């Protein structure tokens, strides 16, 4: 990837992480069945955030090498 593509990918990943963090900051619903779904979704979001952070770190490493 060229530098411009890496910067664009970095920006996309940063925006994705910000959206995930906003979602994770939301409270739980009062309804127990909705809470169960929210907690399952939370686990998924945490994994997506972890993978996104790894990908972002790799992009940053590549940009530093340019």
How confident is the model at residue 26, as a pLDDT?
A: 82
pTM: 0.81
Q: What is the pLDDT of residue 54?
A: 98
* Residue 53, both tokens: 């952070």
Q: E strands along the chain, which residues?
A: none
Q: What is the mean pLDDT of each run of 10 residues along the chain (66 residues)?
A: 94 96 86 88 94 97 93
62 contacts 26 by C-beta, under 8 angstroms = no
């Amino acid at each position: 990837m060229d530098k411009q593509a890496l910067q664009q990918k970095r920006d996309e990943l940063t925006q994705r992480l910000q959206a995930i963090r906003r979602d994770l900051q939301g409270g739980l619903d009062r309804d127990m069945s909705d809470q169960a779904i929210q907690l399952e979704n939370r686990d998924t979001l945490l994994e997506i955030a972890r993978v996104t952070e790894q990908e972002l770190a790799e992009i940053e490493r590549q940009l530093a090498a340019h």
